[in-house]
């Protein structure tokens, strides 16, 4: 699938997944797309934990019961520093670096026929991220920022309508 087809096809999938495994080589390819994303000053600060072990997946489901992860065949945990270090003129770009990596991952998994949804807000509630950090052995100075459930969708999910180009993009001046 070419990049423009993957962009057009990608959406946030919150449904059930088919009972089909995600091969390790696909997970490596998907996360490698995230590792290839640009990062501020090439600091490459985002790291990943790929969870495919059924026992760990079951434990993550207990910690984070959101429907979107209940039968995912893998979960990609995106990890950043709790206190990002500046890399350029007292500025850190870890949030931006993580976001770029996640978007590359979402496009790669779409191109390979998988679906996912970007989950972050729920991680910040009731100590969810902290419990996942412990489960996955994340160092104390880092934390899971985003999780991405991965699997073959059981059905087509809802694709939300995007606003027209002219409502959000202009040439030369805003509006």
pLDDT average, residue stretch 52-62: 96
**Is pLDDT at 130 greater than 90 in this prediction?**
yes
Within the chain, strands assigned E span: 47-51, 74-81, 142-150
How far is Cα of residue 169 from the mean position of the Cα atoms in its chain?
26
Q: What's this model's pTM, rounded to 2 decimal places?
A: 0.94
pLDDT at residue 122, as a whole number: 85
Query: Within 13 Å of residue 162, how many CA atoms lie on the same side as its CB?
Result: 11
39-54 residue pLDDT tens:
988 889 999 999 999 9
pLDDT at residue 83, as a whole number: 87
% residues pLDDT > 90 (the chain): 78
Contact present, 139 and 150 (Cβ < 8 Å) = no
pLDDT at residue 65, as a whole number: 84
pLDDT average, residue stretch 7-35: 95
70-129 residue pLDDT tens:
999 999 999 999 888 888 888 888 999 999 999 999 999 999 999 999 999 888 888 999
Q: How would you list the strands of the sheet with 47-51, edge to edge?
A: 47-51, 74-81, 142-150
Alpha-carbon Rg for the chain, nearest whole angstrom, is 17
Phi/psi of residue 9, nearest 5 degrees: -80, -25
Contact present, 13 and 116 (Cβ < 8 Å) = yes
Please name each of the domains of the chain with its CATH number: 3-154 (3.40.109.10)
- Pairwise CA distance, residues 81 & 141, whole Å: 6
149-175 residue pLDDT tens:
999 999 988 888 999 999 999 999 999
**Is pLDDT at 138 greater than 90 in this prediction?**
yes
């Amino acid at each position: 699938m070419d990049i423009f087809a993957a962009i057009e096809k990608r959406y946030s999938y919150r449904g059930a997944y088919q009972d089909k495994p995600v091969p390790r080589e696909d997970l490596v390819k998907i996360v490698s797309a995230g590792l290839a994303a640009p990062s501020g000053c090439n600091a490459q600060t985002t790291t990943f934990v790929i969870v495919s072990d059924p026992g760990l997946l079951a434990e993550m489901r207990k910690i984070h019961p959101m429907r979107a992860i209940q039968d995912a065949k893998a979960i990609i945990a995106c990890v950043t520093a709790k206190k990002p270090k500046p890399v350029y003129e007292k500025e850190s770009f870890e949030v931006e670096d993580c976001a770029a990596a996640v978007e590359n991952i979402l496009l790669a998994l779409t191109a390979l026929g998988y679906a996912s949804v970007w989950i972050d807000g729920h991680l910040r509630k009731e100590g969810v991220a902290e419990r996942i950090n412990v489960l996955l052995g994340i160092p104390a100075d880092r934390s899971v920022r985003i999780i991405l459930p991965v699997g073959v969708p059981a059905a087509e999910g809802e694709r939300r309508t995007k606003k027209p180009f002219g409502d959000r993009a202009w040439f030369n001046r805003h509006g």
